[in-house]
A and B are shown apart, each in its own frame.
Chain A
Amino acid sequence: MGMGIDIRNKLARRAAEEIHHGMVVNLGIGIPSLVPNHLSKEVTVMFHAENGITGMGPSPRKGEEDENLCNAGGFPVTLNTGGSYCDSTVAFAMIRKGRVDITILGSLEVSEKGDLANWIVPGKKVPGMGGAMELAQKAKKVIVLMNHCDKQGNPKIVKECTLPLTSSRCVDLIITELAVFQVTDQGLLLTELFPPYDMEEVVKKTGCDFDICEEIRNISY
């Protein structure tokens, strides 16, 4: 992603603030996978994996991997107390029935209406949607963690997505290294800034108009 580890963890820490005790949470690969490191001890959540794990725990120590206990990306994980296994239809039943409280994922573009485009990179191979459409469409809350701009410096928050959509009008919260936006029926609402970035910089690097919250929080961590 081209971000320093401290910035990646800032985003993950901000996303962790959205997670409350008892929630069911599905994490995408990349920065979202750092979120569990930022949950307080009082918060116990069930991490959900599309391949049929509820209550997924952290990676095992080297040498203690179990080839039959992996996350949806195929990498070894553990099972927390109270966790369970199920088949793929049940894993997706939890998503479609609205039992997954939060999904946290990366994206290539997000529009001001909350359209999500995160599954096809133009000019590259088409990987397939995997479980992204169900998660984006049916999780109760969709949080996007991403760089504010792409590698060429173009805004990733845009008026209309130029890339093929994963799902339309599904994103609830966007967290970048510059700022935090809520997606509302009226469009984007900027609620928080990550100093040293200021409003001027955010306006310059954002590809659409947005409203500004009356009391902006400057995130100090």
Chain B
Amino acid sequence: MKNVFGKVTTLETVLAFFHDGMSLMFGGFGGVGSPPTIIDGILEKGIRNITLIGNDTGFPQIGIGRLVSEERAAKVIASHIGSNPFAGKMMQDGRLEVEFSPQGILAERIRAGGVGLPGILSDIGMDNEIVVTNKPKLSLNGKEYLVESALTADVSIVYAKKADEYGNLIYDKSARNTNPLVAMAGEITIAEVEEIVPLGSLDPEEIITPGVFVDYVIPTKGVNWKWAWE
């Protein structure tokens, strides 16, 4: 393969973008669709004080949950932490700041960050103290809405089934979940993929994430955790 755009690279190369105190957005839902090889790399490099942004904190040994369990996160912005007891424990002990956002609104905040908008208007959870805290309200056409701010991150990491040399991505079934949104919202986006193919190999009609949003592509070593159902 020619690697015309220089995007296809190695884990070692992309690890240079990870540093203490960074914000890190990750694709995945309950660990499904989270990139195992990059998560391993972050663990091995010893990165700490990360602000994690993503749907949920996975399970203790699954997905992004591994970073939480090893106390690498200082803050989490997520819709759910219930499947990772470590996250709840650390939150209770005051060692992990957690910002909850309703799941679909969180996805839209990430999308807004990815499409270059500052925020969205929402009517979800307006009667809920946790949701409304510190958010401005705005009246539009006679109705009141919450202003939900857009989310971006220093680095976005996603998991995909296939990438071509330009970083055009297709995903695998329900492992797509938040990945296409996360892919757009990073200052730097790194895709970990099962298969890297030459330009022209993907059907243009089937590409979900245009390579424009993807800066680097690395091959995955595959899932190295045991699923809860196994």
Q: Is the CB of A51 within 8 A of B128?
A: no
Decide: A129 near B125, CB < 8 A? Known: A51-B174, A74-B229.
yes
Q: How far is the CA of A53 from the CA of B100 in the complex (A)?
A: 23
Q: How far is the CA of A133 from the CA of B79 in the complex (A)?
A: 11
Q: Mask for B19-36, Cβ within 8 A of A = 1, else 0?
A: 000000000011111000
Q: How far is the CA of A164 from the CA of B100 in the complex (A)?
A: 15
Decide: A128 near B81, CB < 8 A? Known: A87-B178, A92-B107.
yes
Q: Is the CB of B103 within 8 A of A87?
A: no
Decide: A72 near B128, CB < 8 A? Known: A89-B104, A91-B104, A92-B107.
no
Q: How far is the CA of A30 from the CA of B177 in the complex (A)?
A: 23
Per DSSP, are chain B's interface residues mostly helix, strand or loop, or mixed?
mixed
Measured between beta carbons, the chain B residues less than 8 angstroms from A70 are 30, 32, 174
Q: Is the CB of A74 within 8 A of B31?
A: yes
Tally of contact residues, A, Cβ under 8 A:
45
Q: Which of B177, B227, B229 makes the CB contact (< 8 A) with A88? A: B177
Q: Which of A50, A72, A74 makes the CB contact (< 8 A) with B227? A: A74
Q: Is the CB of A74 within 8 A of B79?
A: no
Q: How far is the CA of A70 from the CA of B85 in the complex (A)?
A: 21
Measured between beta carbons, the chain A residues less than 8 angstroms from B107 are 87-89, 92
Decide: A129 near B32, CB < 8 A? Known: A51-B177, A88-B177.
no
Residues of B within 8 A of A (CB): 29-33, 55-56, 59, 78-83, 85, 88-89, 91-92, 98, 100, 102-105, 107-108, 111, 123-125, 127-131, 161, 171-181, 208, 223, 227-229
